[in-house]
Amino acid sequence: MSDRIEVSINATTFTLNAGETAEAIVTLRNLGQSVDQFTLSIEKLDSEWYTLPASSVALFPNDQDNLKIVLHPPKTADAEAGSHPFRVKVTSQENREEETAVDLTIEIQALPSLELAISPPSITGRKGTYDIEASNPDDTKAVLRLSASDAENKLRYRFQPDTLVVPGKGQAKATLQVSLEWLSLLGIEKAFDFQVRAVPIVAEQGITINGQLVRPSFNWYLTKVRTSKYVTRVKSYRRFPGIKVPWLRRQPTIRVFEATTTDRREFKVIWSVGRAKKVLLADEEVESKGERIVSPSEEIKYILTADNKYGVSSRVLDIRPLPMPEAKVSTRIKANLSPTTFEVAAGGTPVQATMELQNLGDIVDKFIVGIDGIDASWYSCSASSIALMPQASGQVIISLNPPKKKGIKTRVYPFAVTISSESNPGEVASVLGQLEVLPSVEYKLAIRPYRITARRKGTYRVVLTNTSVSNADVLLEATDLDEGLKFRFKTENPIVPAWQTFEIPMVARPKKGSTVGEKKRYDITVTSTDNTSGNSQTVNCELNHAPIITSWRSIFRAVRIILFLGIIGALIGFVIHWGGGFSMLRSNPQMWWDTLVHQATSTFGSWWGK
């Protein structure tokens, strides 16, 4: 311990899970009699577990300042559950022997090692029953609370039971009944994806699995109802001018008009309008439902207007982007950034810049270094402040390394390095810079479902998940080993925006007749090729073709049976007619029988010459 350095930290133990983040605030006080620079370092802890935005600070006598340590244990095998002690050491640059150390601890919570499975993964119908199985590889039992949810809130769930007790080294099962709400029963065929989550009752962490319920198509029913019940009635009403239909005389309704953003630089404007004949967005005619990406440089208002012959509806949307940084000049501070433009890959090798400072004043001053325009996790500084004598110069090394995470995209990010005087806060100098995130394309290819049994065709969903900072320009192709299928994609060349997921329907049908033929299995390979880099990925699936008629023999057999029954029916009708008809047979059977015998005797007797 040193008598010249006082160190205090907001906490000594940090409890978190692997992959989570916590901040330790280190407060330093200079107890010496002279200006000194103090350096902070971490011992007994892997460098991947922490980040130091600023590793040193300059302090006047009896002055104090805060330094931040960002703790982020990764989700790797090294991040074992339990205690991980480490040490924070602060050293004086004026006298290396003057140092103070504080012991801290990271407590990593144990994650549940349970496994969850659902069977079957997809069901077609207005409701379905799924089997949920939980496996516990640990020795101790686990008590799980089950829940389910879907993005559109169109499904209802019922677990039996809703709490599972899974013994150690054992399994436990539950059933889940999923059904559509009554308002969602009608419409074209649509798949509803849902998630089943199992959460241990003693903790808030859990594991999830995905399931699916496919709504069958009811197009014929809807068309029939609209035509016979509603459309005809409306037309008959409109023939008479004295009859008014109030629910038809309504002005447009703006259901949704909002903007979403992750970084306040790029905004997605989403709108949805009902009963509109014409829709205008910022004086431009658009569809009644859609979205648009905008990147305004300043605050802007978007006006959505919808009209029909019964009225006009409008709504205003305010978008406030991050303010653009500005350069400032000070008479007491000279600042120079070298270089000012940078190119770096997200999550790649950091780039460094040098900030040259000079005290143009006539007193000893301390200068605070800050960066505006980019997130604090994108950079680190060798010092958050620096003390300089009059006309003296100093340097601060800035390391720029934007992380690779959702929301970061390929573009130029302007920023400003700001230097402010501690003795006179009004004296500020700012130097502008530009950070360009380089393009990088990474995506994942999947297909759902894996196997389809169909009579005419099979419809698959090709899923493209973009996990990079750039848009993915992908070309899709499909083949089968026997070359007996033809394929059709809704979009053969989709462009998947950064950090988004696209589903492209793919229809596979036999080239030859699909009504008559033998049952056959087709092995399908779907290939996606990145048009930028040329890299490709493949996934496999199956189509089991089961025609309605497996052979022409069954058709000929049915035709023979129909002809035989037709002949028998014609003979029976002829006999009934010969006896006097069906009415006589029903009213007086004896007379009908006598007439029949008489007709038969006279006819057959004439044939034989009697």
pLDDT for res 56 = 87
CA 504/CA 472 separation, integer angstroms? 14
pLDDT for res 228 = 33
CA 435/CA 438 separation, integer angstroms? 9
Q: What is the DSSP string of 543-585?
A: EEE--SBS-HHHHHHHHHHHHHHHHHHHHHHHHHHHTT-HHHH
CA 222/CA 214 separation, integer angstroms? 18
Closest CA to 56 of 297, 509, 387: 387
Cα 576 to Cα 230, 563, 566, 591: the distances in Å are 49, 20, 15, 12
For the sheet containing 99-108, what is the strand order?
Answer: 13-16, 99-108, 82-92, 36-43, 56-59
CA 156/CA 296 separation, integer angstroms? 41
pLDDT for res 375 = 86
User: In this prediction, what percent of the chain has a pLDDT beyond 70?
Assistant: 87
Which residues of the chain fall short of a pLDDT of 70? 1, 76-79, 110-113, 182-188, 201-249, 513-517, 549-552, 554, 606-610
pLDDT for res 297 = 83
pLDDT for res 503 = 93
Q: Give the number of other Cβ atoms within 10 Å of residue 195's Cβ.
A: 14
Per-state percent for the chain, helix, strand, coil, to nearest 5: 15, 50, 35
CA 70/CA 377 separation, integer angstroms? 9
55 touches 147 (CB < 8 A):
no
Q: What is the 3-state secondary structure (H, E, C) of 416-476?
A: EEEEEECCCCCCEEEEEEEEEECCCCCEEEEEECCEEEECCCEEEEEEEEECCCCCEEEEE
Amino acid at 535: N
Closest CA to 38 of 122, 96, 124: 96
Q: What is the 3-state secondary structure (H, E, C) of 481-497?
A: CCCCEEEEECCCCCEEC
The contacts of residue 485 (CB under 8 Å, 6+ apart) are 508, 509, 510, 511, 522, 524, 543
CA 119/CA 114 separation, integer angstroms? 17
CA 602/CA 353 separation, integer angstroms? 123
CA 532/CA 315 separation, integer angstroms? 41
pLDDT for res 265 = 83
The contacts of residue 579 (CB under 8 Å, 6+ apart) are 585, 592, 593, 595, 596, 599
The contacts of residue 229 (CB under 8 Å, 6+ apart) are none
pLDDT 10s digits, 269-319: 999 999 898 999 988 999 999 999 888 888 899 999 999 888 889 899 999
* Domains along the chain with CATH numbers: 5-108 (2.60.40.10), 115-215 (2.60.40.2310), 250-319 (2.60.40.10), 333-437 (2.60.40.10), 443-545 (2.60.40.10), 558-607 (no CATH)
pTM of the model: 0.54
Closest CA to 134 of 154, 115, 149: 115
Residue with tokens 């109802």: 225
Indicate the SS3 state at residue 411.
coil
471 touches 494 (CB < 8 A):
no
Cβ-in-10-Å burial (0-12, 13-18, 19+) of 73 comes to buried
604 touches 590 (CB < 8 A):
no
438 touches 342 (CB < 8 A):
no
**CA atoms lying within 13 Å on the CB side of residue 554:** 8
427 touches 332 (CB < 8 A):
yes
430 touches 375 (CB < 8 A):
no
Closest CA to 539 of 529, 548, 528, 531: 528
Question: What residues pair up with 413 in beta bridges, in sequence order?
Answer: 435
Residue with tokens 């798949």: 191
49 touches 25 (CB < 8 A):
no
Amino acid at 282: A
Nearest 5°: phi and psi at 502? -115, 145
Burial 116-149 (b: 16+ CB within 10 A, else e): bebeeebeeebebebebbbebeeeeebebebebe
pLDDT for res 237 = 35
Question: What residues pair up with 99 in beta bridges, in sequence order?
Answer: 91
Residue with tokens 């129909």: 562
